[in-house]
Amino acid sequence: MNYIVVGTNRPESRSGQIAKVVQQLYRAQGESVEILDLQQLDLSTLTGRQYWQDQPAQVKAWVDLISQSRSLVMIVPEYNGSFPGVLKYFIDHWKFPDSFESRPVSFIGLGGRFGGLRAVEHLQQVFAYRNAYLFPERVFFMNCSKTIVDGQINDPVAMDLLQLQVKNFSRFVAALESAGLDALSVAKHRAKGK
Ligand SMILES: Cc1cc2nc3c(=O)[nH]c(=O)nc-3n(C[C@H](O)[C@H](O)[C@H](O)COP(=O)(O)O)c2cc1C
């Protein structure tokens, strides 16, 4: 399964609204894709625990979905010049290297004047450091308080780029798979080698 990660837990976030549009675009071209919206993840259950041991059931279930994902589409708003802290907190509970290495990841940003550029670039650093495959075509939604309203996106340029990203990211993932380079293929080869 491919997953779209909504990188904030803010209720009724614009990131969540974009996720639904992105999901429809992927489904329209026959891809299976589900949304993981941080608003639905109770991170308070993690307080006082070790990061990788004894994870609460819901967190463990989400971390397992990430580790077993075919690809990830990260949707990140800009909060104080970066991606939301709650997203980093979630990522810090992912399994290493399983969640990151060789996983194809694409990025969508949203914010004010710069459309979440800093948020996306900071997040790209995290995934690059952890050896994921970063898809280079990024999409940014600028002035999002005006251009994303009630689930509608009123930014034709960003929508065109989004459609292109969806099409080309699907091809990117398929190309990695056919070469046996994606995370799921690598995990299979490792399991056979044991
Ligand atoms: C805590 C917080 C900090 C923000 N900081 C920035 C910022 O540094 N730069 C920016 O362009 N927009 C900033 N914004 C505006 C958000 O990018 C904008 O409200 C966007 O809709 C938030 O995404 P969301 O609806 O998915 O939460 C901030 C919003 C919040 C809630």
In the reported structure, the alpha carbon of residue 174 is separated from the centroid of ligand 1 by a whole-number distance in angstroms of 33
Q: Which segments of the chain have a pLDDT < 70?
A: 194
Q: Where are the alpha helices (DSSP H) in the chain?
A: 14-28, 57-67, 85-91, 117-129, 144-147, 156-178, 183-193
Q: What's residue 85's pLDDT?
A: 98
Ligand 1 closest atom vs CA 110: 17
Q: Whose CA is nearest to atom 31 of ligand 1?
A: 79
Residue matched to tokens 């990140």: 76
Q: What's residue 4's pLDDT?
A: 98
In the reported structure, the alpha carbon of residue 111 is separated from the centroid of ligand 1 by a whole-number distance in angstroms of 6
Q: What's residue 92's pLDDT?
A: 97
CB of 15 sitting under 6 A from ligand 1: yes
CA atoms of 33 and 24, how far apart (whole Å) = 9
Are the C-beta atoms of 170 and 29 separated by less than 8 Å?
yes
Domains of the chain with bracketed CATH: 2-193 (3.40.50.360)
CB of 115 sitting under 6 A from ligand 1: no
Which tens digit of pLDDT belongs to each residue from 116-158? 999 999 999 999 999 999 999 999 999 999 999 999 999 999 9
CA neighbor of 103 nearest in space, from 52, 61, 66, 136: 66
In the reported structure, the alpha carbon of residue 193 is separated from the centroid of ligand 1 by a whole-number distance in angstroms of 46
pTM of the model: 0.97
Q: What's residue 194's pLDDT?
A: 60
CB of 79 sitting under 6 A from ligand 1: yes
